[in-house]
Amino acid sequence: MPREHWTLEEFPFHPERLLHLETLMTLGNGYLATRGSFEEGYAGSMPTTMVHGIFDHAPGMLVPELVNAPNWLPIHITVDGTPFQLVNPNDVSLTPKEGALLGYRRVLHLKQGVLRRECLFRAESGSIVRLVFERFPSLHDVHVLAQRVQIIAVDGEPEIVVEAFIEQQVTNAGVNHWTAVQSGSENQVVSVQMKTGQSGYSLGMASQLVSQTPVEIVMDSAQQRPVMRTSFKLNREESAELVKLSAIYTSRDVEHPLNAAVAKVYEAVATGYAKLLHDHQAEWFKYWDSSDIVIEGDETSQFALRFVMYHILIAAPRHDDDVSIGAKTLSGLGYKGHVFWDTELFILPPLTLTQPALARNLLMYRYHRLAGARNKAKANGFEGAMYPWESTDTGEETTPQWSDVQPDGSRIRIWTGDSEQHICTDIAYAILQYWRWTGDDAFLQQHGAEMVLDTAVFWGSRVEWKAEHNRYEISQQIGPDEYHENIDNSVFTNRMVVWHLGAALKLLDRLKAHAPADADRLTRALDLNPARLAKWNDIIAKMYIPFDEAERRHIQFPGFFDMEFIPVPHYQPRTASVQAILGHARSIQTQVIKQADVVMLMALLGDELAPHDVLVNNWNTYYPRTDHGSSLSPAMHAWVAAMLGLNEEAYDEFEHAAAIDLQDNKGNVRDGIHGAASGGVIQAVLFGFCGLKIDDAGQLTATPRLPAHWKSVSFTVYYRGRRRHFTVRNPVVETPLA
């Protein structure tokens, strides 16, 4: 697909990949994102626009979800009475009345954040037109949505009719969230105002069609919406240009979203498309100036890296620190827009390094949800802050307890909301990683420390003392490997808790030394009394870390090796996970692992976890048992393999991770981009292949372990407020002369 390193191209039309490409070609600006659906619509397509923070819990649904907003895209064109529609070239039942698509190219421009589509279309009359669609949600002014269509009469003298409107009949795959829908028009601007049923968010959207020919507003009474219509005749070779400018606000932004949207449309029309595009592109260039990573020697990886960074950038909130990025970004309905650990441990690090202000926004989202985390701890009989496994706007636990109805009519119990408690250490890890890289003391003192310390308070109350073993344990956990549920003493969780409590104690000492007022405030507010701190030290000393002394390797959890061994690599080539092949009931009784678990621990803690030989033994043990049933897995393996000098495995897993969305090798990209896999790919390059890290002396260092055919990797990172540019090359090995 990649024609050059900045564009994703579809040529010719691939109807069989409609939903996959619709996801890949999502545009966004950190406020909202819109899938790459067509202006004229297409049967089976899923036009979706999602605005950060607009969640709603519809009647009959198990949990709230991010709501599909009105569709700002519709522009319907008829050519001599034939509606311009893409037809499936494989559908032989179509009649000439439907027109003929003679040519098609769709290009997503990553560098500019613009989607362009060119179509050559023949009407039933024989007239041929070339249509060029272009659109972008402005990065410069995130409330502005811009579209332009050029219509060129290639053959004949066609009569053209253009109708543009806002589609307000939108649902989340059939689930309606909107009530009190009202549409209207005034002074050439059409608008709609609607409200979510349960959560009560209001949304206003307005739109104007700008044409050299008069635009009238007509009522589509069947759909109860105003439509902007214009018509004209083109001579052969003549062209026309139409611009549709829309704007959107919600009650999260302003008190009167509709008024704000209408005013913004007037402003955008006065500014004009060319200037809007110019300003939008200028913002994108600023993004890429810090976030581009240049690989010399591997064009496919170069493109893949830009693609994943693009998707992180369009999802990252720019001006809002009260929202976060869901597992599927804003590009699809998968996981209902819920926020998981995917954000803190996978998506956030690339932002911490290249766009620290955006990383801070995401961490502040968690700060604003401390109340929800404290409620969860209390409801479960614990102290401190226990973050939800799945989070939305409220900060309450929103993991569904039951799956959707299965083909046999049953529902499966989902335990992650109860037991995947490592989310608390994941958030603390991301906060301290952000602080170490940025040196943002103000954030740490005012916000970050409270989260790190109150989640430590949670762990202090959560661990269980086992006098008979003279150790602390943690029962009923789900580690990153979600195939094994409600196990006792997940090594990932127990070891990360030790790390967390150690980091919390050091943090408190630092605050006492450098910010005594904050140390004092937090000590009182969180009741960090000497007994509590002594217990943290005791836990650090006596936590049970499952380890096999004879084999010198970590044990994922006690009993793991008693289960049936399945040689996962023998199950190749496969398209399904080994779990799907063996079936749920059997696979949970085996050593098949869903995703990096002990390997994830190695990525996070590196040498701090264990001596090199133990890390190698861990790798040799767990790699052949992992079926990568989760998209989060391959990139972490690439990082760790690179760290261990396993170049071949590192590149294999990197390629695997980089293809997850582009090749749709899990078959579910229609539901949205795998945000964590995207962030993981970037970490595999920076932390894995480039070996970028902050050493004990506080210096940035890089240890090149590039794939053999990569000549160099160049990137810019912010370290303690300073921009640093690196070009990493494998060390030149001198060959002695014969």
CB of 233 to ligand IFM, least distance (A): 53
Q: Quick one: DSSP state of residue 220?
A: E
C-alpha separations of 342 from 100, 635, 667, 678 in Å: 44, 13, 20, 10
CB of 327 to ligand IFM, least distance (A): 4
| Residue 222 CB neighbour total at 10 angstroms | 6
CB of 482 to ligand IFM, least distance (A): 6
Q: 482, 485, 653, 655: which is the annotated catalytic residue? A: 482
Mark the segment that binds ligand IFM (CB under 6 A) among 92-100, 119-127, 334-342, 719-727. 334-342
CB of 480 to ligand IFM, least distance (A): 6
Integer Cα distance of 72 and 74 in angstroms: 6
Mark the segment that binds ligand IFM (CB under 6 A) among 18-26, 149-157, 220-228, 340-348. 340-348
> Which CB sits closer to ligand IFM, 56 or 342?
342
Candidates 73, 76, 99; CA nearest to 86 is 99
CB of 56 to ligand IFM, least distance (A): 21
Q: Do residues 338 and 391 make contact, with C-beta atoms less than 8 angstroms apart?
A: yes
Phi-psi region of 67 (alpha: psi -120 to 50; beta: other; left: phi over 0): beta
Query: Catalytic: 216?
Result: no
CB of 308 to ligand IFM, least distance (A): 15
Exactly one of 108, 632, 650, 728 binds ligand IFM (CB under 6 A); that residue is 632
Candidates 77, 80, 56, 59; CA nearest to 67 is 56
C-alpha separations of 268 from 141, 202, 249, 546, 680 in Å: 10, 22, 14, 61, 38
Exactly one of 123, 217, 277, 327 binds ligand IFM (CB under 6 A); that residue is 327
In the chain the first and final C-alpha atoms are separated, in Å, by 45
Interaction mask 278-317, ligand IFM, x per CB under 6 A: ----------------------------------------
Exactly one of 298, 482, 627, 655 binds ligand IFM (CB under 6 A); that residue is 482
Mark the segment that binds ligand IFM (CB under 6 A) among 287-295, 301-309, 337-345, 404-412. 337-345
Q: Do residues 165 and 74 make contact, with C-beta atoms less than 8 angstroms apart?
A: yes
Mark the segment that binds ligand IFM (CB under 6 A) among 128-136, 338-346, 695-703, 713-721. 338-346
Integer Cα distance of 245 and 66 in angstroms: 24
> Which CB sits closer to ligand IFM, 211 or 455?
455
- Name residues whose C-beta falls within 8 Å of residue 249's C-beta, 6 or more positions apart in sequence: 143, 203, 204, 257, 258, 260, 261, 264
β-strands 700-701, 82-83 pairing: unpaired
Phi-psi region of 188 (alpha: psi -120 to 50; beta: other; left: phi over 0): left
397 touching ligand IFM, by CB under 6 A: no
Mark the segment that binds ligand IFM (CB under 6 A) among 125-133, 335-343, 551-559, 730-738. 335-343
> Which CB sits closer to ligand IFM, 205 or 677?
677
435 touching ligand IFM, by CB under 6 A: no
* Burial zone of 701 (CB within 10 Å; 0-12 exposed, 13-18 middle, 19+ buried): exposed
Looking at this protein, which amino acid is placed at residue 734?
E
Q: Report the site for ligand IFM in 669-688 (rule: CB under 6 A).
A: 676
421 touching ligand IFM, by CB under 6 A: no
340 touching ligand IFM, by CB under 6 A: yes
Task: Give the residue numbers annotated as catalytic, written as ranges.
Answer: 482
The footprint of ligand IFM (CB under 6 A) covers 327, 335, 340-342, 480, 482, 630, 632, 676
